[in-house]
Amino acid sequence: MINAFAHFWNLCIFRGSPVHVPSDNNAIAVLVLLIIGLSFLEALMLAGSGMWTFFAATMIVNVVVLSAFFFALQLRGVAVRFRKTLASYLGTLAITKALTTLVIWLSADNEVSGFLVAGFSIWRFAVTGFILKHSLEISLLVGTLIAFACFVFGSLVVVVIFPSIFAPVAQ
């Protein structure tokens, strides 16, 4: 497992390639459970009474993003790379989500933690773009833009499913 973490960390620092990431059924199952656990913890810390809605929204965005990745791989004719892309995305997402959750938990100053969380989000898009760069054989900029577009599309799906969480509060 330490070796797998090293592969994911190398992707997070823009080294390595998704080719070397373990993508067997057990590794993907562990990564999915890790993402579910970290998302639940994040929802618990951030959302309070709307925890379940926040958790569901996070899961929906991830499913939409991964579906878009599969579609993009299918369009490029390299759908066989999906398992490696999936494992790479989940592993790097787990690392960035764990660091984000740690910053939120340790930070007493909301302004500073807000900037750090925004920085981690930008880093997450860049790392995902790096993964897509290798999987789709495109440039890093295009991969990052695709990652951002997939996230925005996933967020729009969440807005359609949960319109009440984005409605303005009546005063």
Burial class (CB in 10 A: 0-12, 13-18, 19+), 108: exposed
- Please state the rounded mean pLDDT for residues 114-136: 90
**pLDDT over 90 (residue 65):** yes
Please state the pTM of the whole predicted model.
Answer: 0.88
pLDDT at 116: 83
Given a cut of 50, is residue 171 above it in pLDDT? Answer: no
Residue 169 DSSP class: P
Indicate whether 166 pLDDT > 70: no
Domain boundaries, the chain: 2-156
Yes or no: say if 131 and 143 are a contact pair by the CB < 8 Å rule.
yes
Mean pLDDT of the residues in the chain? 87
| pLDDT for residue 108 | 62
By residue count, the chain amounts to 171
Residue 114 has pLDDT above 60, yes or no: yes
Give the pLDDT of residue 67: 94
| 87 in Cβ contact with 31 (< 8 Å) | yes
Contact present, 145 and 52 (Cβ < 8 Å): no
pLDDT at 157 over 50: yes
Instruction: Note the pLDDT tens digit of each residue in 4-52.
Output: 888 999 999 999 888 889 889 999 999 999 999 998 888 887 766 677 8
- Integer Cα distance of 60 and 30 in angstroms: 19
Q: What is the C-alpha radius of gyration for the chain, rounded to an integer number of angstroms? A: 16
Residue-wise pLDDT for 72-103, tens only, equals: 999 999 999 999 999 999 999 999 989 888 88
